[in-house]
Structures are given as C-alpha cells and as structure tokens.
Amino acid sequence: MFIDSARFSVTSGKGGQGCAAFRREKFVVKGGPDGGDGGKGGDVYFLVDNNTDTLSNYKGRKFFKADNGAQGLGGRMTGKSGEALVLIVPPGTQVIDDETNEVIFDLLELGEKVLFLEGGKGGLGNTHFKNSRNQRPTYFQPGLPGQVRKIRLELKLIADVGLVGYPNVGKSTLISVTSNATPEIANYEFTTLTPKLGVVTVGDYNSFVMADIPGIIDGASEGRGLGLEFLKHIERTKTLLFVIDVANYRTMIDQYNVLKEEVAKFSSELSTRNYAIVLSKVDGYMGEDLDGDIENFIKDIGLEITKSNEFKFETEYPYYVQDLIYSRFDDTKPYFVLPISSLTKFNIKALGFALYNLLEQDK
C-alpha cells in the first residue's frame, strides 16, 4: 500500500521528578539530604532511511510519545533518561505543523537525523535545596513536561524524470518497458492511482529514476481528479517528460497545452524545469496521416523537424532534438520531441539515452 501523507500528534518524554532522601549509613550521625535528580525525558528525532518508501508505518496511528525520565534515587543517583523516539521516514518527506501549515523540516538526505522535540528536564532532588538555614529540606522539583506538536507528514517522491500526461496515454506501459517497475496496466483511465518508481539502466554503468504518476486532467491544479495528488509528486523531479497520445481523441497540441498550463498553475518553478516530449502509441494511430500530424505538432510548438541525431532515433517518423554540438542547451524548449511505441519498443532504447543526456544539462 502506498501512503504518502499522515497526520498525528507527537510528544517528547516528561522529565522524572527529583527525590527527597536522606543519607542513612552506619556511624554517620544525622546524614544530610542526598536525593538525586530526575532523569531527562526522551527526545523525538526524525531519521531519513531509504529502506522504506512510504509512510504506511504511521497509518491509523494518532499519537506517538517518547519515554518519560525516571525518578531520582537516594545516594544522589540521577534517574534514568527516557528512551528517545526515532521516527523513520523515506527521503522526500516534509514535516509540517498541522495547525499553522509551517514546513518544519524538508528531509531529503539519506541518513539525515534531526532533533524535533526535546524531552523535559528532570526535577532537582532535595540535595540541591540544602543551605545554612534549612539543613533538612524535604521537598524536590517535579520534572518538566514534554513538548507536544500536531504534525502532518507529506511524502513527495524524488525522481530524475517524472512522466506527465493525461490518464491512459501509456505512461505505465512506458515505465514498465524502460525500467524494472511493474505498474498495473489496463485499458481504462486512472489505472495508476499511486506513484511508481523505476530505475532505467543506460549502458552498463549509468542509470536514472523514472516516476510514473497518476494522470492529470483539466483543472488538476484546482484539485480535480487526482490533480493535487499528481502535481505534488512531480515537484521534486529534476526533469519532466510529457507523454502525448497520438491515438487519443484529443489533439496532440490540446493535450500539450493543457498539461503545460496545469503544471504552470500549480508551480511557476516547476514549469521552468528541463523537459522533453514523447508522442506515444504510434502503433495505435487511427488517423490518415501520422507523419503530417507529427510535423504539424512540432511546428505548432515553434520547432522544426530534425534530420539527424546522436541517439540513433528511428527515422520512420518525424522528430525534433536540440543540436548541442553547435549551440547551447535552450531550457525554454523541449530537449526532444520523439514518436515512440512501448508495445513494439519503437525508439524505446534511444529514449533512455536521450533522457540521460537531458539530465546532464545544467539549468
């Protein structure tokens, strides 16, 4: 089960109370106060661990608490400190104050451990209150209470390439043939209800992470469909790959314009990420002139047909790719516009090399 958000309360441990005790020892007449201090309450930490990739450990839990400190003992012995509570989360987790919506932590680095709440201080024992006027104090301090916070955890996937497209345009099939991911694939919309990650291997030693994310529809940035669930997961992707379905009843340019618009509405920063375009399902095209439709789409977005490339794209259909030999990378344009077929593996291998090259371009 994929859980990408959780809401609960967290409390650090209460400090142990001090001790009121007096020295009782043979040959020691009227031993003075020797009550020890209470132990410190347990702290609360967050630890980033990639052995978990969901927040499912927190499903159904409403409250987490660190251990309290132990009471002080006679003989000036300090009570045992409370055991710390370590909350383990996957990389990409945001810790948000549920009452103010303030982002407290943005946990990205593997192995990162941060102190969230400090446990309460232990109370002083009666040995601290002895003085010339009161040589037999019988009182002690109670431990200080722990801190309480209501928080919300949100997981935003970290991937190199995020697939952006309408429902049922072939994103799941694409990630299944390019990576080790095994998403559900079916001929209906919103087959993908939760994000899926796959590692795409390029050559013998290089790879990158691709994210298959629930499809986007018109008005997604306003919360329609799975819109916000989709959009928040592409916030952390380094590059975007727009998947346009040539066999869809929507025209290619209409699909592209809506996708770009919804991404821009959700985040102006996200809309400036490097991106590329694939025209999927060329094997399922039902029109009369696929070449002409692809050429028109490339011209509609202000580009020209490319005649050669370094990635060995198939030349059966028109395509576009930036020429980085004689010019610099232009991040205002797609790196490439490439017809593909996940079913017949048309241009799939070349796509992996082109995406890896795109990831190497600096913003």
Q: Which of 220, 222, 238 is nearest to 230 (CA)?
A: 220
Has 192 been labeled as part of a binding site?
yes
Name the token pair of 235. Answer: 């916030």
Has 302 been labeled as part of a binding site?
no
Has 81 been labeled as part of a binding site?
no
Has 169 been labeled as part of a binding site?
yes
Has 280 been labeled as part of a binding site?
yes
Has 282 been labeled as part of a binding site?
yes
Has 343 been labeled as part of a binding site?
yes
Q: What is the largest CA-CA distance in the chain?
A: 109
Has 38 been labeled as part of a binding site?
no
Has 334 been labeled as part of a binding site?
no
Has 283 been labeled as part of a binding site?
yes
Has 215 been labeled as part of a binding site?
yes
Has 80 been labeled as part of a binding site?
no
Has 9 been labeled as part of a binding site?
no
- Chain mean position to CA 267: 16
Name the token pair of 127. Answer: 């040995």
Q: Which of 176, 124, 171, 165 is nearest to 15 (CA)?
A: 124
Has 194 been labeled as part of a binding site?
yes
Has 156 been labeled as part of a binding site?
no
Has 143 been labeled as part of a binding site?
no
Has 183 been labeled as part of a binding site?
no
Has 267 been labeled as part of a binding site?
no
How far is residue 58's CA from residue 204's CA, in Å, rounded to a whole number?
38
Q: Which residues are annotated as a binding site for Mg(2+)?
A: 172, 192
Q: Which residues are annotated as a binding site?
A: 165-172, 190-194, 212-215, 280-283, 341-343
Q: Which residues are annotated as a binding site for GTP?
A: 165-172, 190-194, 212-215, 280-283, 341-343
